[in-house]
Structure 1
Amino acid sequence: MKLKIVVLFFLVSLKSLGQKQVEVFFDFNKDFPNPTSILTLNEWIAKNKEIEITKLLGFCDSIDTKNYNKHLAERRIESVRELLEKSGLKFSKNLDKIAYGKDFKQSKVQAENRRVTIFYSEIAPKIVESEFTRQMRNSKVGETVKLPNIYFFNNSARIVPKSETSLYDLLCAMQENPKLKIEIQGHICCQMVNDVANISTARARAIYNYLLRNKIDRKRMKFVGYGVLRPIHKIPEQNQAEEDENRRVEILIVEK
């Protein structure tokens, strides 16, 4: 019977039992993936760096003996494992490697049987704690923590959108510690007289309102504006850096 050799040059991505899988195909009697599968595998690896390989299954077509095909499947598994290892992917400590050879339900298309199936799980991204979050967690009652990267439009209490990350960090700190009570303190710069327009209070209130909109109990927080009464640097400031440090919002820890 004349065999029709169909060469598969692709990977198939599926979901199985909570895990994902890809399949790498081989040419007849070869233990290294065919060239086009290698290219596609490299593209897949480039898009899936944050994964953990959990299982490698090796398969062969029905040609040749059971023993020969089992050893061929083992070599195919090893060649794929080496490719994945060289690419820097992570492996489970309990990595399963099973060589089925030809001992499985075969496809009528022999080329579909010559494969290694890679099972993997996505690794949850590592959360990097911000310096502000660390300071809020370690601070004691009576200490103040500067809320970083908070920007307002000129002479107003409107918060610039790029401040969202810092606001969210403050919100998370309040959510993670239900006993935490704070005072939001607003400060301005550059004026020899106190805050005539009361901008520092309005800015502190804007942050208070953000927390309130996100369901933080008003009993856990209050706000106050100090204008230029508590500068870090003497006014008038000598440079832009001093102005930036005087123009700030601080969080006073009232209760933990």
Structure 2
Amino acid sequence: MKPIFVFLFVMLFANSFYAQEQFAVYFDSNKFDLTSKEKTKLNDWIAENKTNKIVAIHGFTDEDGTTGFNDTLAQKRVDCIFNTIKNQIKIREDFKTRSFGESFNQSKNKAENRKVLIYYILEKDIVREDEILGIKKEAAEEQPKPEVNYPEKLVFENPNGTTSEFKLDRTFMKKVGEAKKGEKLKIDNLNFIINTFAVVPESRGKLYELLLVLQRNPQLKIEIQGHLCCMPNDRLDLSTQRAKAIYNFLVANEIYPGRLSYKGFGSTQPIYPLPEKDEKERAANRRVEILIVEN
């Protein structure tokens, strides 16, 4: 079955070949099959480039013969190379071939003009394939996220029959839910019993705020980051334990662990330099922050 070739737009590739690798094979005059020497050279190249990717093949001839004959000969040379490599090395889906015949800047050495050039990209550069080829993808129109509503308060019935009520910060929840990847937000008023990772009762509402945001924004992934004040060394790793306590609360309430991570920084990233001047500065340094990993 004869392969179907998609012909490239010359200007597109002419501006981008500098960023690609190329390999040449040569033909005898008026021939479109390879000599034993060139066939061996091509097979060696294929063996060494299994994980690279071909993006184009161009065929050329010298000026001997008519223009029509040379164009046909150049295309047959391209076909010969394509049929040799097509099942042995990666080829771009919209693979491009072109036969230039004699219509290119000829070398004075005719043997150098009777060739096929294979343009390819190294495995390490395949992730930049479109960039290297100068192909610009149209950015998909970003769809606005549906508005998420959050309650003003949560009321729980305790095992002893009493109820607990938590007033919620809807502004904070909305801010976290709409934050962009890479943003970092401080959880205000989230306090712990001194020298422990236990959240004080009056701060438990902050945990539920975070839980609600994650429940109502299933694409949201976060890293919980703990920070301490006052002491230069976090000997008890308290900042990590506090971040982990929040992580454990969320997982216990059925947030998928793959959406969460935690990390403690001790006092290595203070807002105010140590030692702090007053309780205001200590409170600012003693904090938990949320890094938006994906949203």
Q: TM-score by structure 1 length?
A: 0.49
Q: From the CA coordinates, give the structure whose radius of gyration is larger.
A: 2
